[in-house]
Structure 1
Amino acid sequence: MSDVTDATRQGPKPEGRLEAAEQVRPSRWKSIWDSDIAYSFRRSPVAMVAALVTAILVLSAIFAPLVATTNPFDPSSLNLMNGFTPPGADNAFTGESFWLGTDDQGRDVFSTILYGMRISLFVGAMAVLFAMVLGIGLGLLAGYVGGWVDSVIMRVADVQLTFPSILVALLIFGIARGLIPIEHRDQMAIWVLILAIGLSDWVQFARVVRGATLVEKNKEYVQAARLIGRKPGAIMFRHILPNVLSPVLVIATISLALAIIAEATLSFLGVGAPPTQPSLGTLIRIGQDFLFSGEWWILFFPAVTLLALALSVNLLGDWLRDALNPRLR
C-alpha cells in the first residue's frame, strides 16, 4: 500500500511529461497552416487561382527541356516544311500536327513559348533582385545617414521619376550597348537588359526603405545598439533592415510583373533579347509580322501567355500587400 502511495505522490515520469508536451506542441507545418497569411490565402479565391497559374507557368518554364516537344532554337531540329501549320491541324507536306501550330521557320509555338518564358522570367527576376539590392542599400544609407547624402540620393530619385521607366531603360540599354564591342553584344544582351531594367526600377525600393528607416532609427533598440558601440553598417543591416523588409517584399512581387512587361516591351521594340535567345516579347514581335496574313496563332499564344504571367504575378502582389497590412486584419 505504501508503495502505491509513494508512486502516486511522485506523479508521472519525466519521459511521459516530455511525450505529452511534444503531442501538445504544434508542428511547423501546422503553425504555418494556422498563420494569418495562410488564413488570408485560403480565404482569397483570386490569390489561389493566381498562385496556381503562376506555379504552372514558372514550373513549365523551368522544366522546358522536359515539357517541350523539341528545342525550337536548335537548328538541327527545324523543318521548314512544317512552317505555318495551324493549331491542331496536320501539315500538308509532313503530316505532323502541333498543339499551338508552328511559326514561319517550322518551330513549334508551344515549345518556343516555354523557352521564351524562361528568358522573360530570368530577366525579370534578376532585374528585380538587382533593383532591390541597389534600392535597399541606397534607401538605408539615405534614411540613416541623412544630411547631404540623403539630399543627393533623393534628388537623383526625383529626377528619374520624372521620366517613364521604359524610356530610362531604353537610354541605359543604348549607352551600355554602345560601350560593348560589336562581337560581344549578342552575348551580353541579356545582362545589359537586366542592368537597364534594374536601374530604372530601384527608385521605389529606395523611397520606401528610406521612409521606414527614418521611423526605425529613432526607436529604442537602435539607440541601445548605438550605446553599446555598434557600427552604423551593423545597425543598418542587422537591426533596421529586418524591420523594413515587409513592404519591400510586396514591392518586389509587383515589380516582377512590371519587369517582365518591360522586358517584353524592349524586346518587342527590337532592343531586348537577341534573335538567338528570343523571349516572349521577341515572339510577339515576330508574330505581329504575320498577323494580317492569317497566321494569327504566332502572335496570339505568346501574347496570352505574357498576359497570364504578368496578371497572375500582379494579383499575387496585390494579395500579399493586403495580407501584410495590419490595418486590414
Structure 2
Amino acid sequence: MTAKSGRGAAFWNSDLVYSFRRSPVAIISTLVTVILVLTAILAPLIAPHNPFDPSTLNLMNGFSQPMQPNAFTGETFWLGTDGQGRDIFSTILYGMRISLFVASLAVLFAMVLGVTLGLIAGYVGGWVDTIIMRIADVQLTFPSILIAMLISGIARGFTPVQYRDEVAIWVLIIAIGLSDWVQFARVVRGTTLIEKNKEYVQAARMIGRSRGAIMLWHILPNVLNPVLVIATISFALAIIAEATLSFLGVGAPPTEPSLGTLINTGRDFLLSGEWWILLFPALTLLALALSVNLLGDWLRDALNPRLR
C-alpha cells in the first residue's frame, strides 16, 4: 500500500504532471479534446437521431432553424436540420467519428512507416540512408495535401467504380499516412544517429544482438518522446487534411460523410440563408483541430529538457 502511494505521489509530482497542472491551455484543450472524442465514440447513444438511416428522416423537417419549432411538424432541433431533414447535431457526431477514425489510423500508419524507415536509415547508414532521406527530401518539396490528393487520385483510378465508395475511407487513410511519414522518419533518424554510438548500444553489439533487436529493444524506447509529440501534432494536421480532402470531394463518400463532407454540403446552402448547415460543423472542426494542436504544443514544450 505504501509503495503504491509512493508511486502515485511520484507521478503526481513529476515534471510532466506539474507542467500540466500549471498550464490552463493544456487543461482546457485536454477537456475539449476528451469531450469531443467521447461524444463521437458514443454517438449512437447520444445522438437524438441516426442521420444516415433513411427510415428516420422526414423531409417536412428540412431546413429547420436551430432551437425553433418546425412550421410543419412542430419538432425542435438544437442545431437545426439540413435539406433532407437530418438533425445537424446528430450528423456532426457521426461525421466526427469518421474524421477521428481516419485521422487516428492515418497517423498510426505514418508513425509506423516513418519510425521504421528512420531507425533503418539512422542505424544502417550508407546507401540505405541516402535513398530513404532523398525520397523524404523530394516529398518535402511538395505540400502534403497535394501528395495526399495525388495518392488518392491514383488509388481511385485503379479501383473499379462500383467499389470506390467502399474503399474510399481506406484510400483516404493511406493517402494521408503516406503524405505524413517524413516528419517521423527525419526525427527518428537524427535521434538514432546519436543513440547508436552510446555505450549501451555498443554493449549490445558485443554480446551478439542482431541489428533488428538492437533497433527494436534498445534504440526505439529512447526515441519515443519526440515521436509522441509529432504524433499529437500530426493528429491535428490529419484531421484538417481529411476535412480538406473531403471538402474537395476526394475524401469520405456521401454515404459516410465526415466533418469535411458536411462543410462541403453546407457551403451550397450558405448564400440561400441556411447558415447553420455550414457553421456548426465548421466550428466543431475548428474546436477539435485547435484543441489537439494546442495539446501537442504543450506536450512538445513539456518534454523538452531545455525548457525546464
Structure 1 range deviating more: 292-301 or 29-38 = 29-38
When the two structures are superposed, what TM-score results if normalisation uses the length of structure 1? 0.92
Instruction: In structure 1, give the amino acid aligned to 2:59.
Output: L
Instruction: In structure 1, give the amino acid aligned to 2:18.
Output: Y
- Aligned match of 1:187: 166
Q: Within the alignment, does 1:212 sit opposite 2:194 as a pair? A: no
Q: Within the alignment, does 1:162 sit opposite 2:141 as a pair? A: yes
Q: Within the alignment, does 1:223 sit opposite 2:202 as a pair? A: yes
- Aligned match of 1:172: 151
Q: Within the alignment, does 1:78 sit opposite 2:57 as a pair? A: yes
- Aligned match of 2:74: 95
Could you tell me how far apart the structure 2 residues matched to 1:126 and 1:27 are?
37
Q: Within the alignment, does 1:287 sit opposite 2:266 as a pair? A: yes
| Bigger Rg, which one | 1
Structure 1 gap ranges (5+): 1-21
Shift of 1:189: 0.3
- Aligned match of 2:256: 277
Q: Which digits, 9 at most, give the CA deviation of each residue in 1:18-60, with x for residues without a partner? A: xxxx547634433321211111000000000000000000000
- Aligned match of 1:42: 21
RMSD, matched Cα: 0.9
Could you tell me how far apart the structure 2 residues matched to 1:179 and 1:231 are?
40
- Aligned match of 2:244: 265
Q: 1:29 to 1:71 in 2, by over 3 A?
A: farther
Q: Which digits, 9 at most, give the CA deviation of each residue in 1:111-167, with x for residues without a partner? A: 000000000000001000000000000000000000000000000000000000000
- Aligned match of 2:307: 328
Question: Residue 94 of structure 2 aligns to a residue in which SS?
Answer: helix
- Aligned match of 1:109: 88
- Aligned match of 1:12: none
Structure 2 gap ranges (5+): none
- Aligned match of 2:214: 235
Structure 1 range deviating more: 179-188 or 141-150 = 179-188
- Aligned match of 1:122: 101
Identity value in percent: 78
Could you tell me how far apart the structure 1 residues matched to 2:4 and 2:146 are?
55
Structure 1 range deviating more: 152-161 or 29-38 = 29-38
Could you tell me how far apart the structure 1 residues matched to 2:11 and 2:84 are?
49
Instruction: In structure 1, give the amino acid aligned to 2:96.
Output: M
Count of aligned pairs between the two proteins: 308
Could you tell me how far apart the structure 1 residues matched to 2:10 and 2:234 are?
29
